[in-house]
Chains A and B, each alone.
Chain A
Amino acid sequence: MAQDKEALYHERLKRYTTALRNGKPDRIPIRPFVAEFTAKYAGYTCQQVTHDYRLAFAAARKCALDFDWDAVLGNMVYVWTGLTQAIGLKYYGVPGIDVSADTGFQYREPAEEHAFMKADEYDALAEDPTGFLFNVWLPRVSTDVAPIGAPSTYRNNLSFLKGGMAMMDYFAAFGPQNELLRKECGTVSAIAGILKAPLDIIADKLRGYLGLAEDLMRRPEKVLTACEALMPHLLHVARSSADPLNEVPIGFWMHRGCVPFISKKHFENIFWPTLRPIIEELWKSGHQVLFYAEGKWGHHLEAFAQLPEHSIVYHIDQDDIVKVHRVLKEKFCLSGGIPNSLLSFGTPQQVRDRCKLVIDTIGREGGYIMDASAIIQNDAKSENIQAMTDFTREYGVY
């Protein structure tokens, strides 16, 4: 049995990596990014899998085994709220505390006047990003970390000790989880490592989207300088967390760096010039990047098309699949394109019809990976996930 799983693993790894390099494997790999869906399927609440990563790991393995998927994430409910609570992070709505036990965790962006970084602090961030994060940012985002100069506290000390130990515990658990996925399910761990764009970091965690939008109008040169200062650090985080064998890509989560969240000018002058060199630098080391293009990035496909061949995989959320295919397919593997609304509210037949359309339009020549448009949460119906899986396995044979 174990040998069968090992053979299956290698078969799937070959299928997945061939597609990642825009090649034509034996059939279309199925790699759904299933998050809170795993809880629903395995009989847990959102609170259970979010707050106890061991349950999330078990649910991920159960889904991988039962649906027989080629590749998954060890835990797509990535934010372990046990860890965020140990640090005292304020910006999460925790299932069972801030939202119902059966609602996925939420990200809470503070009001503009309570942004975690002030408009006049760009120079301080740019001068020493790591120092700024420890000394200024962390005391603001944590309920427990004391500001520099304030008396230290028991809670402050515990935040660092518990937070550091918990993070090591969590990260170290992914190795054994990936081994279990391999041995129990024959399933490949789909990505390794994390990247976010400098401008997205400023919106998501520092200034908030509204603050950033104002800064782009009033002090764009400060925003650019700060993004440039973040670049080497985000590159380092991505590279140090990447797959050392270069088999699977780094996950790049794309948030609000596109039109209409920002103007085309700001994309061209700030977002892209401070992201593109990171992608190119990673590719020089053989690290492919999965562009998880949440929302619509259709205004920027031509910019992405300038990247080196195979350096990225482009994941389609709400983009026009025909346009993405026309602009990017020659150089890059594509994934996704099955709307989450369909998985939640559609019928299995509608799901099969959409899968057929996507495969016929962008997946006939290889270089395509089946997945939903966005992360699959607990609103998806099991029968629709089954339909997506079964149809692809039958129809997606080359």
Chain B
Amino acid sequence: MNDEKKTPIPPGICIPWEEKAKELPKIIGDEQQLRQIWEENESLAYTYIWHCLVSF
């Protein structure tokens, strides 16, 4: 077990972009756009699980 305290994942996100970016080759285009679209889709998955909990 890693004893290091993890940084909490902020609301609206399931897998942070920083974690995803590590899996990718060196980004040679517009990283900001890649991040934005990643996070927009993340928010859909986040909405799904939190509304399962809160609304349904």
Q: Which residues in A have some Cβ–Cβ distance to B below 8 Å?
A: 78-79, 83-84, 87, 89, 127-128, 130-131, 133-134, 137-138, 141, 163-164, 167-168, 194-196, 201, 205, 229, 232-237, 240
Residues of B within 8 A of A167 (CB): 47-48, 51
Q: How far is the CA of A78 from the CA of B55 in the complex (A)?
A: 8
Q: Given A201-B54, A232-B10, are A134 and B49 also a contact pair (CB < 8 Å)? A: yes
A196 x B54 contact (CB < 8 A): yes
Contact among A133, A195, A236 with B53 in the assembled complex (CB-CB below 8 Å): A133
Question: Which residue of chain A has the shortest Cβ distance to B13 in the bound complex?
Answer: A130
- 14 A-B pairs within 8 Å (CB atoms) are namely A89-B52, A128-B9, A130-B49, A133-B49, A141-B52, A164-B48, A194-B54, A201-B53, A201-B54, A232-B11, A233-B11, A233-B50, A240-B12, A240-B47
Residues of A within 8 A of B56 (CB): 79, 83-84, 87, 89
Interface footprint category on B: 20 to 34
Q: How far is the CA of A128 from the CA of B16 in the complex (A)?
A: 12
CB distance from B27 to the nearest CB of A (A): 25
Q: Given A128-B6, A134-B14, A164-B44, are A237 and B54 also a contact pair (CB < 8 Å)? A: yes
Question: Which residue of chain B has the shortest Cβ distance to A235 in the bound complex?
Answer: B11
- The digit string for B8-50, where 1 denotes a CB below 8 A from any CB of A, is 1111111000000000000000000000000000011111111
Residues of A within 8 A of B50 (CB): 130, 133, 233, 236-237
Q: How far is the CA of A84 from the CA of B53 in the complex (A)?
A: 11
Question: Which residue of chain B has the shortest Cβ distance to A236 in the bound complex?
Answer: B11
CB distance from A390 to the nearest CB of B (A): 34
Residues of A within 8 A of B8 (CB): 127-128, 229
Residues of A within 8 A of B11 (CB): 232-233, 235-237
Q: How far is the CA of A79 from the CA of B12 in the complex (A)?
A: 23
Question: Which residue of chain B has the shortest Cβ distance to A234 in the bound complex?
Answer: B54
A127 x B6 contact (CB < 8 A): yes
Since A127-B6, A130-B14, A134-B49 are in contact, a sample of 12 more A-B pairs with Cβ atoms closer than 8 Å, ordered by chain A residue number, is: A78-B55, A79-B56, A130-B9, A130-B50, A138-B49, A138-B52, A167-B47, A201-B53, A233-B50, A236-B11, A237-B54, A240-B43
A236 x B12 contact (CB < 8 A): yes
Residues of B within 8 A of A138 (CB): 49, 52
Q: How far is the CA of A134 from the CA of B52 in the complex (A)?
A: 10
CB distance from B23 to the nearest CB of A (A): 18
